[in-house]
Amino acid sequence: MGDTLRVGLVGIGNISGQYLDTLPRLPGVSLVAAADLDPARTVPDVRMLRPEELYAADDVDLVLNLTIPRAHADVALSAIGAGKHVYGEKPLALSTVEGREVLAAASSAGVRVGCAPDTVLGTGTQTARRCLDDGMIGTPVAATAFMVTPGHERWHPDPEFYYRPGGGPLFDMGPYYLTALVTLLGPVRRVTGLASTPRATRTIGSGPRAGTEFPVAVATHVAGVLEHENGAITTLMMSFDVWAANLPRIEVYGTHGALSVPDPNAFDGDVKLYEPGREWRTVPTNAGYRNAGRGTGVADLAAAVANNTEHRANGTLAYHVLDIMESLLHATDQGQTQPVTSTTPRPTPVP
């Protein structure tokens, strides 16, 4: 393995376009091959292989796993079994059982696991992290996190997987918010909440299958309360059942002020600070990867491999986020608080 991490992409779906836009401008990575179960899907000017050929390729160091959620663990294990590092789209796996299998296999093979979202490595969340680390709002005591939308079937041409296990607002969008919250406030030790599925079916709103009705198999409105290990309490709402709202994305409340954090589904955005006796003000950008895009976490992993340091969008963090989500759904099913048995260090800040 040289200084450049050679990447093989598996899964040429909707999200792959954003990675393909970013990868060519990232240091330390080079896209050398791609694969998809559908042979009609290709990447221009990139060598196309079958998935099993890509895993075995001598010139692939890392498999970029952009498949649908139910395939995440299988693809990761295939890549790890071939001695490759793996970086995948979120969630890490459909369950903590699968997630533990992936991490154990990687540890045994001596390879790394990375996982989206890497949006938290951009200037938005990282500037907010810097504000907290510098004590600008005192000790954090609480936070709120809201992601509300009418549902992805309005715009996605094949939205069914969003409404199957591994989908829903919590597993689809929750990783952005929970990864940001853990980055800002640290790991979570227990959760409680409620969930509902107001509509049994959804209807595709765009593309060649517009008008097609399909069943919903997951909760589409989830409300939770998270207790972080540092004592801060987060109120969380993830919903595919809200047409419009004026809610903030993430806010953090401290003993000496408050912080407004931009959309964790984006890499940048304004961070706003409130201090008693002053108006809300925008904090100058002072941390994070500038002009970042999806795939920045792959470059961060490549740099960590080269420098023998820990990459930030790592498997331990992704597993803890998965554990939070699974524990929250268990809490909604059982009507009682659930412990989150895993933990993770806060990733090191991006200067």
Position 296 confidence tier, pLDDT thresholds 50, 70, 90: very high
Which pLDDT score, from 0 to 100, does residue 144 have?
98
Tens digits of per-residue pLDDT, 214-266?
A: 999 999 999 999 999 999 999 999 999 999 999 999 999 999 999 999 999 99
Measured CA to CA, the distance from residue 165 to residue 13 in angstroms comes to: 19
3-class secondary structure, 259: strand
Q: What are the C-alpha distances in Å from 112 to residues 106, 249, 299?
A: 6, 31, 13
Which pLDDT score, from 0 to 100, does residue 278 have?
94
With a cut of 70, say whether residue 204 has pLDDT above it.
yes
With a cut of 50, say whether residue 1 has pLDDT above it.
no
Which pLDDT score, from 0 to 100, does residue 182 have?
98
Position 166 confidence tier, pLDDT thresholds 50, 70, 90: confident
Nearest to 90 by CA among 347, 315, 349: 315
Measured CA to CA, the distance from residue 277 to residue 113 in angstroms comes to: 46
Distance of CA 206 to the CA centre of its chain: 25
Tens digits of per-residue pLDDT, 311-340?
A: 999 999 999 999 999 999 999 999 999 999
Which pLDDT score, from 0 to 100, does residue 2 have?
52
Q: What is the 3-state secondary structure (H, E, C) of 217-253?
A: CCCCEEEEEEEECCCCEEEEEEECCCCCCCCCCEEEE
Q: What are the C-alpha distances in Å from 251 to residues 163, 259, 277?
A: 28, 6, 19
pTM for this model (two decimals) = 0.96
With a cut of 50, say whether residue 64 has pLDDT above it.
yes
Q: Quote the percentage of the chain above a pLDDT of 70.
A: 99
Q: Quote the percentage of the chain above a pLDDT of 90.
A: 98
Which pLDDT score, from 0 to 100, does residue 65 have?
98
Structure-block tokens of residue 145: 């996190």
Measured CA to CA, the distance from residue 319 to residue 255 in angstroms comes to: 31
Tens digits of per-residue pLDDT, 256-270?
A: 999 999 999 999 999
Summary mean pLDDT of the chain? 97
Is 268:252 a contact under the CB 8 Å cutoff? no
Measured CA to CA, the distance from residue 237 to residue 133 in angstroms comes to: 26
